[in-house]
Amino acid sequence: MPLSSLSFNEAKAREADMNGFPSAKYSSREQNVLSLWRSSSPSTARNLPSTPQEGCPELSRIPLFSKLPAEGLRQLSLYGVARTYPKNTILIHEKDQGESLYVILSGKVKIYVSNKAGKEIILNILNPGEYFGELELIDTGPYSASVMTLERSQIYMISRACLHYYLLEYPTIALELLHSLALRIRLLTESVKSFALDNVYQRVIRTLLNLATERDGTLAIEQRLTQQDVANRVGASREMVSHILKELNAGGYIKIKDRKITIQRKLPLGW
């Protein structure tokens, strides 16, 4: 049954249970809809403890939902699920069936693909305010990559049925979603171009510059990176990346301290 056939007012009038969802005596029609709202836990993390709450005021700070009216935000906050996961929790396995939109309230996750031999390529690192899983909710296909938490993270999950309702009810969300997808396609195109045309050194340089942010006139990478992290991003061996970083450090181009990299001067185009 479509979500729109049941108004939010019908459900919100119920008393809230410990998970922040309307509870008590539902009709079979309401039960079907609420079960869709609740089907938001990743299969690999479903048995981990959740963080019970009533609503989620943090959603107003998420760009995707920032233009929603106050009532729309309030409704959305009641019909999702917020869960807190420890570091290294796999939220999504590649090829799992897409079932939810995942919004990062706190923490950090990596989007990656891997093969049976364990070789891994990191496609992206996402921070608070960003989200993932939207593509699979649009075309109903399986997830195209895996997702793992890099630190303790709070994730807000919204089921496909609920998201579809909001896309129809509030077109500004759809426009923001399209903008986000267009940006990610551009970044993916750049990544494919780099993998196809650049050598390992050039890919390392591109990665360092993309990760760096300017602070007090200096380019610095706030995220603590291991050599393997960089290798996984550029599709090279850790030994090759280690050699390049050591050469750049010795030449005074970068400074590495406590796994944080600062770019001291313009990086050479060739090596």
> Could you tell me the two tokens for 142?
């399986």
pLDDT in the model for residue 63: 84
Show pLDDT as tens, one digit a residue, over the chain (271 residues): 443 433 434 433 333 333 333 333 334 444 444 444 444 344 444 443 343 344 566 788 888 888 888 888 888 887 788 899 999 999 999 988 888 889 999 999 999 998 888 888 888 889 999 999 888 777 777 888 999 999 999 999 988 888 888 888 888 888 888 888 888 888 888 888 888 888 999 999 999 998 888 887 788 888 888 899 899 989 899 999 999 999 999 999 999 888 889 999 888 887 7
User: Integer distance in angstroms from the first to the last C-alpha of the chain?
Assistant: 60
pLDDT in the model for residue 55: 55
Q: What's the Cα-to-Cα distance from 180 to each of 108, 135, 165, 171, 185, rounded to whole Å?
A: 18, 10, 19, 14, 9
Contact 154, 176 (CB under 8 A): no
3-state secondary structure the chain: CCHHHCCHHHHHCCCECCCCCECCCCCHHHHHHHHHHHCCCCCCCCCCCCCCCCCCHHHHHCHHHCCCCHHHHHHHHHCCEEEEECCCCEEECCCCECCEEEEEEECCEEEEEECCCCCEEEEEEECCCCEECHHHHHHCCECCCEEEECCCEEEEEEEHHHHHHHHHHCHHHHHHHHHHHHHHHHHHHHHHHHHHHCCHHHHHHHHHHHHCEEECCEEEECCCCCHHHHHHHHCCCHHHHHHHHHHHHHCCCEEEECCEEEECCCCCCCC
> Could you tell me the two tokens for 155?
């994730």
Distance CA 184, CA 54 (A): 32
